[in-house]
Amino acid sequence: MAAAALRSWRRGLSRVISRGGLAPLSSARLEGGGGGGGPISAGCVPPGVRHKSTVQFATRPDLPKLAYRRVKGKSPGVVFLPGYGSSMNGQKAEALEEFCKSLGHAYLRFDYTGHGASEGVFAEGTIGTWKKDVLFVLDELVEGPQIMVGSSIGGWLMLLAAIARPEKTAALVGISTAADHLVTAFNALPLETRKEYEEKGVWTVPTKHSEEGEYHFSMEFLREAENHRVLQSPIPVTCPIRLLHGLKDEDVPWHISMQVAERVLSGDVDVVLRRHGQHRMAEKDDIKLLVYTIDDLIDKLTTLV
């Protein structure tokens, strides 16, 4: 059983700033772009900010091409795993690229199958599909162990990837980690309600993160997701793990991060709960905390080498 330490993180970001880690991340950039997960408009980019990495496409036999952006640099590298329906162009993903560039560390962000610029049909995607995407990235697009940063469902996928590729996993950072959440949330519905959705073949969930105002999950999607649950037994992940979650998250309960912390085998686990944090954790202070967390892990891993 892992020991979960709750930290206040009152030390601030003085050490990161002194190293130049947040220099490119002006207030205009961190607060721009509206609702947390969408791309930041060009008008929000302050003068002097480095150009973004170029979109590339990875070809896979008999599978859709994956779109990705990569920055070469030192190890450990950082890989960002976005949330359900999100892309690699969100605020957190772009902020991390700038931060990694400032430290000279490698960084990769990508779109899952059916997401963003990647090929594939979004509605046909499954947890298993996107897990394969992550494993391909670890196997073919990066070198050496990585710090995986997973947002929401990306937090679930990073755990699955860490179990499957322990040798490619240096550390994990979960943001509003949604491990098993879709399955457990559906199973928690009243029996009659579940039967109604099963008869329709689709579970409709209201959301403010979609233009339609709702997500649609087929019964096939949920049944497939059952095969990837991680919270029913000890999670065989032993690397350092940091879990960031907002107490005001209306989409994924913060206690899921606590459950992950209790079940992983790692002895180095911190859970940081932000009092006013919401699901996307994309406010200026949220991103500062994320950057600080990764900077701290890089220092720790570099010291251990």
Of the residues 53, 152, 257, 266, which is catalytic? Answer: 152
Instruction: Name the DSSP letter for residue 230.
Output: -
Instruction: Name the DSSP letter for residue 150.
Output: E
> In DSSP terms, which residues pair with 55 in a beta bridge?
69
Would you say 68 and 29 are in contact if contact means Cβ atoms under 8 Å apart? Answer: no
Q: Listing from the earlier edge strand, what are the strands of the sheet with 63-71? A: 4-6, 269-274, 241-246, 169-175, 146-151, 74-81, 105-110, 63-71, 55-60
Give 178's contacts (C-beta < 8 A, 6+ positions apart).
83, 84, 152, 153, 155, 156, 251, 252, 256
Tokens linked to 58: 């990875």
Per DSSP, helices labelled H in 49-148 are: 91-103, 127-136
Residue 51 falls in the annotated catalytic set: no
Residue 268 falls in the annotated catalytic set: no
Rounded Cα distance, 36 and 281, in Å: 7
Nearest alpha-carbon partner for 159 in 236, 69, 248: 236
Helix (H) or strand (E) holding 77: strand 74-81
Of the residues 115, 279, 295, 296, which is catalytic? Answer: 279
Residue 276 falls in the annotated catalytic set: no
Of the residues 111, 180, 249, 296, which is catalytic? Answer: 249
Would you say 228 and 127 are in contact if contact means Cβ atoms under 8 Å apart? Answer: yes
Note the Cα 257 to chain centre separation in Å.
13
Angle, helices 219-226/127-136, rounded to nearest 10 degrees: 60
Q: Which residues belong to the active site?
A: 152, 249, 279
